[in-house]
């Protein structure tokens, strides 16, 4: 076994760890040496979503000790950053196994470090944590969640005083503080219980009031209050707030998918508790068809991702992908505010670089500034902070089912997104059409955009190396042509360089460094390659576009676009 791994294992066997943990390590050394090696070969690091990993013993796992060490490092950094101020933090957790235990561990460590802690009484959505940080003037916060990952995972998202997740230099600085902790005995585990305050109903009421204030057409909801809504929290935290917010909006006909209504970290009805997965939406689709609903909405375990289902023009239930949902939401917030005279000259919207460019086109045609940032909502939050003195943020989103409407919190918010999406369905119904028909109208108006995503997982100790080699291969030798169209631009966000492959001219990319490559073809196709910051995966995003002359040409146009993406995947040898 690698000497560094041996050293880490021995530090746990000889350190101030509980006997149960030590005995488990010894047992695994005998019965599953590869498993124990994987558990100790590295330390969990903050990525785009913070700390995330499989639960279990070891430095590469989510457990009391890795959570405690991370919190001690974070506490040390907060105290350095705000030396003469009262430091407050807010803490929330989702429905996952051990989430409450981890949240209480975090609260105890912060409290023992003399930090004022506001701990939610029970599970709450991630967006409410972001909102709470801003409401209570906190310097930071933590939510214990692994978002949409399988049940074996848990995680730790760390936030800063604006309510957004940690960005440079804070993320790396916290990691540096964590790495300074040489011994688990350096963690202050107990002794500050008086610093912990339990929060709950009052914060819920403040959040619900904020969410209601996002409504643009409350009078339309009154006309359409019987809109048939089906909602599933997929065993997660959404059940604590989504029904209440929908009720506050004025919707009176909401059906909850009962089989998925109870919070449960084992996610018994799904493989992946992720509204991106059709399988996770199957019970919702069944219920929606059964009652002939107008819209199906779903949220992931920590209620920051939202998925929707609607009926197509044949009356069949279909799921909208993240790009389509984002297009509908961005267009509604721009269009409805314009209709109501609420649009301001300094309005802005924000999306990520891998999200459909259809949003850029819609915003541009309406005279609204559209910014593109790196993947991850922390970058949307950071841009709002940078621009808020001079520009008015309206909506932000990303293709991975994330939306954030209004600027009173700084992370993706599926709770208020569900309410606005239902308002959109009500608005379209009042015009005699569905959200699906609205999507088709937008394609005719702005062009048809087809997106797809492939995730390639490389597990184990060699996985990260294999992913690095794939990226270097594309970086060194980008494809010359894809689906019959010449590749004309290479955007390398790691080198912060945009290269015109025809002329050889280069421009500087002003976004922060990130290991992302994008290939742009002559006909406007966009292919992005991006290793995940939290999982051993590399993701490839594909986007092609063309004109849609009329709705009756939709299926033909869609099939051609899908065939084109399939050809690109084949040519890049990813299939």
Domain span holding position 68: 42-199
In the predicted structure, residue 565 carries a pLDDT above the cut 80: yes
State the pLDDT at residue 462. Answer: 79
Contact status, residue 327 vs residue 360, Cβ threshold 8 Å: no
Q: Give tens-digit pLDDT for 321-330.
A: 999 999 999 9
- How many structural domains is the chain composed of? 4
Same domain, 286 and 429: yes
Q: Give tens-digit pLDDT for 180-194.
A: 998 899 999 999 999
Q: Give tens-digit pLDDT for 448-474.
A: 999 999 999 987 667 888 898 999 999
From 446, 479, 509, the end of a domain falls on 446
State the pLDDT at residue 575. Answer: 67
The CB-side HSE value for 247 (13 A sphere, CA atoms) comes to 10
The mean pLDDT value for 187-205 works out to 97
Q: Which helix (H) or strand (E) holds 11?
A: helix 3-14
Same domain, 92 and 154: yes
Same domain, 262 and 360: yes
Same domain, 348 and 235: yes
Alpha carbons 184 and 189: distance in angstroms, whole number: 10
Task: Specify whether the backbone of 34 is left (phi greater than 0), alpha (psi in -120 to 50) or beta.
Answer: alpha
In the predicted structure, residue 332 carries a pLDDT above the cut 70: yes
In the predicted structure, residue 47 carries a pLDDT above the cut 70: no
In the predicted structure, residue 133 carries a pLDDT above the cut 80: yes
State the pLDDT at residue 159. Answer: 97
- Determine what percent of the chain is predicted with pLDDT higher than 90: 91
Same domain, 302 and 288: yes
In the predicted structure, residue 101 carries a pLDDT above the cut 60: yes
From 446, 464, 482, the end of a domain falls on 446
In the predicted structure, residue 354 carries a pLDDT above the cut 70: yes
In the predicted structure, residue 363 carries a pLDDT above the cut 60: yes
CATH assignment of the domain containing 536: 3.30.310
State the pLDDT at residue 172. Answer: 85
Same domain, 256 and 322: yes
Same domain, 513 and 553: yes
From 446, 473, 502, the end of a domain falls on 446
Same domain, 335 and 215: yes
Same domain, 473 and 337: no
Report if pTM > 0.75: yes
CATH assignment of the domain containing 52: 3.40.120.10
Place of tokens 């294992």: 9
Q: What is the mean pLDDT of the chain?
A: 95
Specify burial of residue 464 (Cβ count, 10 A radius: 0-12, 13-18, 19+): middle
Same domain, 379 and 301: yes
Same domain, 218 and 157: no
Long-range contacts of 278-287 (CB under 8 A, 24+ apart): 278/319, 280/234, 281/232, 281/307, 281/309, 281/319, 283/232, 283/257, 283/259, 284/230, 284/231, 284/232, 284/257, 284/260, 284/309, 285/309, 285/317, 285/319, 287/230, 287/232, 287/255, 287/257
Distances (CA, A) of 300 to 248, 384, 409, 539: 21, 25, 18, 20
Annotated active-site positions, please? 147
Same domain, 274 and 414: yes
Q: What angle do CA 516, 519, 523 make, to 5 degrees?
A: 150
């Amino acid at each position: 076994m690698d000497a560094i791994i041996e050293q880490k294992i021995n530090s746990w066997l000889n350190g101030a760890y509980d006997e149960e943990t030590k005995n488990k390590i010894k047992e695994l050394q005998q019965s599953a040496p590869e498993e124990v090696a994987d558990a100790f070969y590295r330390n969990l690091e903050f990525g785009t979503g913070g700390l995330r990993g499989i639960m279990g013993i070891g430095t590469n796992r989510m457990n009391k000790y890795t959570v405690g060490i991370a919190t001690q490092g974070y506490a040390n950094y907060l105290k350095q950053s705000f030396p003469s101020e009262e430091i407050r933090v807010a803490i929330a957790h989702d429905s996952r196994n051990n989430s409450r235990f981890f949240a209480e561990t975090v609260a105890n460590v912060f409290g023992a470090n003399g930090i004022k802690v506001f701990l939610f009484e029970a599970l709450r959505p991630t967006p409410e944590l972001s909102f709470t940080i801003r409401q209570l003037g906190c310097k930071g916060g933590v939510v214990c969640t692994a978002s949409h990952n399988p049940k074996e995972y848990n995680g730790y998202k760390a936030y800063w005083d604006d309510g957004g997740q940690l960005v440079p230099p804070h993320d790396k600085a916290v990691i540096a503080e964590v790495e300074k902790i040489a011994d688990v005995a350096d963690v202050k585990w107990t002794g500050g219980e008086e610093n912990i305050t339990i929060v709950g109903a009052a914060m819920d009421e403040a959040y619900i009031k904020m969410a209601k204030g996002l409504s643009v057409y409350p009078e339309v909801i009154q006309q359409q209050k019987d809109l048939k809504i089906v909602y599933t929290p997929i065993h997660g935290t959404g059940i604590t707030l989504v029904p209440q917010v929908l009720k506050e909006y004025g919707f009176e006909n909401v059906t909850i998918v009962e089989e998925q209504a109870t919070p449960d970290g084992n996610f018994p009805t799904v493989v992946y508790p992720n509204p991106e997965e059709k399988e996770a939406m199957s019970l919702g689709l069944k219920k929606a068809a059964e009652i002939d609903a107008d819209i199906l909405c779903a949220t992931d375990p920590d209620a920051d991702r939202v998925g929707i289902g609607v009926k197509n023009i044949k009356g069949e239930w279909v799921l909208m992908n993240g790009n389509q949902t984002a297009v509908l939401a961005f267009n509604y917030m721009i269009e409805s505010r314009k209709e109501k005279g609420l649009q301001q000259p300094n309005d802005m919207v924000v999306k990520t670089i891998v999200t459909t460019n259809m949003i850029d086109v819609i915003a541009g045609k309406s005279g609204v500034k559209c910014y593109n940032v790196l993947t991850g909502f922390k970058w949307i939050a950071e841009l709002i902070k940078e621009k808020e003195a001079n520009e008015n943020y309206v909506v932000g989103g990303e293709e991975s089912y994330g939306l954030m409407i209004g600027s009173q919190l700084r992370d993706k918010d599926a709770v208020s997104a569900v309410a606005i999406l239902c308002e959109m369905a009500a608005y379209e119904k009042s015009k005699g059409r569905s959200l699906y028909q609205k999507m088709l109208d937008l394609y005719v108006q702005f062009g048809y955009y087809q997106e797809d995503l492939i995730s390639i997982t490389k597990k184990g100790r060699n996985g990260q190396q294999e992913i690095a080699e794939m990226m270097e291969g594309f970086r060194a030798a980008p494809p010359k042509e894809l689906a019959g169209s010449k590749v004309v631009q290479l955007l390398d966000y790691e080198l912060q360089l945009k290269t015109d492959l025809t002329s050889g001219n280069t421009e500087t990319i002003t976004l922060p460094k990130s290991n992302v490559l994008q290939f742009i073809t002559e006909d406007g196709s966009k292919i992005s390659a991006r290793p995940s910051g939290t999982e051993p995966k590399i993701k490839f995003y594909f986007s092609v576009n063309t004109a849609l002359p009329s709705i009756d040409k939709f299926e033909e146009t869609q099939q051609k676009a899908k065939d084109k993406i399939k050809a690109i995947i084949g040519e890049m040898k990813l299939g």
